[in-house]
Structure formats: structure tokens, C-alpha cells
Amino acid sequence: MFRIAIATLLAAVSLTACAQQTPPTTAATASAAAPAADGPVEKRVRDALKELDPNFKPEYIGAAPFPGFREVIVSGQVLYVTDDGRFLMQSQPYDIEKRAMATSTGLLQYRRGLLDTLPHADRIVFAPPNAKYTISVFTDIECGYCRKLHQDIAELNRNGIAVEYLAFPRMGLGSKDYTDMISVWCADDRKAALTAAKGGAAVPSKTCTNPVAMQYNLGQQLGINGTPAIFAADGSQLGGYLPPAQIKAALERIGTAAAGSR
């Protein structure tokens, strides 16, 4: 899977954001990803990027979580451009006070909109009664840290955390990993099939109408390039594998911040 080639962008050569299959644009994802109407600063940034490369088509431009910059999203990758359109920065800053990656409300809303297009019925859910928190986890059945996180399911549930799995076969569409994940999602008992697959058991072949490609493509729109990728309900990306205690602490911080902003 190829991601944004920033070096190519900065050289003002054609920018491409490719994957093994181009994510389809459905009415739902188009609506979720649609940016707000440009203000003068957003227009200046958009025009500067278009001047750099006419093929550069941001999916979202909004205020960054720190002054002087606009946040730009293209194929899920977050970039930062100065309000005057002169400088571009690739790295996402870390918010020391919040102990998390710096994230704007616009970016969180954008991610929530994308995640909301994936039906709950298409997810494989491990939830306790009266869950206090829910995390969406893009997973792969082969990666070691995905398997390690799955071993923590019982502990996460005991901490009041529901886990909703989404498919992200990291070897790409058409790979054995992809077809195995289709078999898992088509199993009569998807939870048991996923647990067995993550335990290293052979996956009995099965096909059906399934959401694996759709979930994978949307994961790319979110900028996922590794698994597991954990998202909180507000759209915050918590990271890759984290122990249950750290996931709970992160969710509590998000909940406290949300309560304080009301």
C-alpha cells in the first residue's frame, strides 16, 4: 500500500495517493467527508496547494489545534499549512498538556463522520453489559499486536470498554489475508471465527456479501497504515496496541475533556 509521497509533493511533481484499490466514493462517505465552505484563509491555503500541484485535492481544510496553521487532510493523511499558504509541515504535533496527538474539533468531526458510515451490524462486537466506553478497532487477523489486543478483550470488557472490530487486511485487497477475513466475516459465528483466526487456527473458506473491502477502504481514508488502529467514540485515534489500563486512562481523559468543554 502506497501512501502520500510528500517528497514528491514538495518537489511539485504529480502527487498520488495510491493503494491496491482506490477507495470508492459513496454518497455516505462523500457527505461525511465534505469540508465546510472555505473561508478566506482556507481558500488561500487551497490555492497555494493547487499552485504547488494542480492534482493536489484536499478532502478537508480546517483550523489546526494551534494558531497560525490550517489542518489539511488528503487520503487520510494529516498535513499542516501556514495560514499564509507558504509552509507545509507533515508531522502531527503532540499536545503535552493533553498527553495525546494534537487534534482539532474539525478533524475529530471528520473522522466521526467517516466512522458513522460503517453500519454497526457489519462490525464484530465484544461488549460488556452497560459499556461505559466504546472503541472502534481496525484489525488484521495475522498481526501480532492485533492478536495481543484480542487477548485483552476480557480485561477491556471488565473495565467497561466495548470493542467494535472493523476489517483492515494490511496485505491489501486480493491477498490471502483479505480472503481469510472475508471468511471470518461470513462465518455463522463471527466472534468465534475471529477469535479462532487470531489464535492461529486455519480459517474455513466461506464467501458472502461482506463489508471487508468497504471497511478497508474507509480505513485508508482515515490514514491507517498499520494495525491495530484504535479510535475513541469522539474520533480520537488512541494509537496502535495499548494495554487495557492505558486505553481506559486515555478514554477517561477524553471524557473529562469533553465534560469540561460543555
Catalytic residues: 140, 143, 146, 170
DSSP secondary structure string for all residues of 50-66 = HHH-TT---SEEEE-SS
The residues, any chain, with a CB within 8 Å of residue 43's CB and separated by 6 or more, are none
Q: CB-hemisphere CA count at 13 Å for 256?
A: 7
C-alpha span between 95 and 122 (Å, rounded) = 34
Q: Is 167 helix (H, G, I), strand (E, B) or coil?
A: strand
C-alpha grid cell, residue 136: 472502534
Find cell 459465528 and name the residue.
189
Edge-to-edge strand ranges of the sheet holding 60-63: 60-63, 69-74, 77-82, 88-89
C-alpha grid cell, residue 248: 481506559
C-alpha span between 76 and 89 (Å, rounded) = 15
**Torsion angles phi and psi, residue 259, rounded to 5:** -65, -35
